[in-house]
Amino acid sequence: MTDSPTTDSSTTKRPANKIRWGILGPGKIAHAFAADFQYVADGRLSAVASRSTERARAFAAQYDIPFAYGSYGELAASPEVDAVYVAVPHSHHYEAASLCLEAGKAVLCEKPLTVNSGQAEALFALAERRGSFLMEALWSKFNPVIVHLGELIASGAIGEVRRIHCDFGFVAPPDPGSRLRAPGLAGGALLDIGIYTLFLPHMLWGLPAQIDSHVVRGETGVDVQEQIILQWPGARMAVAEASLDSYYPTTGVISGTEGYIQLAAPFFAGRELTLWREGSEPRQVRREFPGKGYQFQVDEVNACLRAERLQSRRHSWEDSLALCQTMDRLRKTWGITYPGERAP
Ligand SMILES: NC(=O)c1ccc[n+]([C@@H]2O[C@H](COP(=O)([O-])OP(=O)(O)OC[C@H]3O[C@@H](n4cnc5c(N)ncnc54)[C@H](OP(=O)(O)O)[C@@H]3O)[C@@H](O)[C@H]2O)c1
């Protein structure tokens, strides 16, 4: 990889050997990511960075990672790393991804890519200016069942799709300072789990024409429960529900004029779907894979780097921007602005 700037918006530099990955922010999701990395064919974990040297060393020892850094800046500057997985809280995605892109690293940044669409657009401009790859870690898009769902719908298996229903709810720790509830960490259901209920309709239909919603705000002021109805031209609707205060079955149902497809829970990361067509027996389709499925998004980044691309066609900058714009619209309606953020 190089850190020399380029004005070519379509390509990035190609690493010679296995792509060397660094992890920035060794928290909860970074552990799941590192555990699944053993299933990545064309990459290896080369470095990890924490705000604390001890935490970086402990994580490195657990996953046999050669380099451990006590600051994010050292990882961004490291000659041992081609691509960085950004796994800090949402509030810090923009700053951490900028640091790495500026240094010429490819970046896979946890969802949501940024807290708002203004930050997302700034990241795209930076990635383009530096010739660095950037993708939001929307791992569900690369889940084999979701990929098959896309194929089934494209083949007309359920006719014209008219309605999508997704729900995701669980009881988050009550601590007002926790990542999911603290406004300073961009807490709330929408950005953390609501994004999963929105990604399927956005994947199939793009930006909605109309959005209606109801929200419950918790003690810290962030959204803790919401029901969202989205509409697209052509009698197409989606219902998206998320909660940090009660348990939902985490299902996804896609309904069409000739049948429906039910994604087994959790709908965004499952191994099975059921296809029901009018007049036929229900058909189950399973897709087995090792681990939790975080490896597929890494495979996509590696393939893009080999193809010298700056963004993925399967989860493009435009796709991430659309999700940010929809979430901006919702937060604007709800009057939720995070500290230090101008109104979305
Ligand atoms: N794809 C998925 O399935 C999935 C699941 C869960 C979360 N996520 C995403 O991953 C991101 C991180 O979530 P998480 O649950 O892993 O978070 P977490 O465990 O609370 O924090 C991740 C790490 O970020 C670092 N960090 C940097 N600045 C911080 C700050 N101001 N406060 C707290 N930690 C800070 C900390 O590492 P050091 O201090 O050691 O540097 C911390 O361990 C979120 O954006 C979330 O949306 C994705």
Show the ligand 1 pocket: residues with CB < 6 angstroms. 25-30, 50-52, 55, 87-90, 92, 110-111, 137, 139, 179, 185, 192
Domains located in the chain, CATH noted: 19-138 (3.40.50.720), 144-292+324-334 (3.30.360.10)
* Confidence at residue 6, expressed as pLDDT on a 0 to 100 scale: 31
* Confidence at residue 3, expressed as pLDDT on a 0 to 100 scale: 29
Residue 213 has pLDDT above 70, yes or no: yes
Angle between helices 195-205 and 144-154 (to 10 degrees): 30
CA of 25 to the centre of ligand 1 (A): 6
Higher pLDDT, 260 or 9: 260
Residue 341 pLDDT grade (very low, low, confident, very high; cuts 50, 70, 90):
confident
* Confidence at residue 12, expressed as pLDDT on a 0 to 100 scale: 55
By alpha-carbon position, which residue is closest to atom 21 of ligand 1? 27
CA of 329 to the centre of ligand 1 (A): 25
By alpha-carbon position, which residue is closest to atom 43 of ligand 1? 27
Residue 157 has pLDDT above 50, yes or no: yes
* Confidence at residue 343, expressed as pLDDT on a 0 to 100 scale: 55
By alpha-carbon position, which residue is closest to atom 2 of ligand 1? 29
CA of 29 to the centre of ligand 1 (A): 7
Per-residue pLDDT reduced to its tens digit, 221-241: 999 999 999 999 999 999 999
CA of 133 to the centre of ligand 1 (A): 22
User: What does the alpha-carbon distance between residue 152 and residue 147 come to, in Å, rounded to a whole number?
Assistant: 9
Range from 10-24, 214-228, 243-257, 329-343 carrying the lowest mean pLDDT: 10-24
By alpha-carbon position, which residue is closest to atom 27 of ligand 1? 88
- Give the ligand 1 atom nearest the CA of 92: 28
For the record, the structure tokens of 168 come out as 């995701």
Q: Which of 13, 18, 28, 111 is catalytic?
A: 111
Mean pLDDT of 321-330: 98
Higher pLDDT, 340 or 320: 320
Per-residue pLDDT reduced to its tens digit, 86-129: 999 999 999 999 999 999 999 999 999 999 999 999 999 999 99
CA of 242 to the centre of ligand 1 (A): 20
Known catalytic residue at 332: no
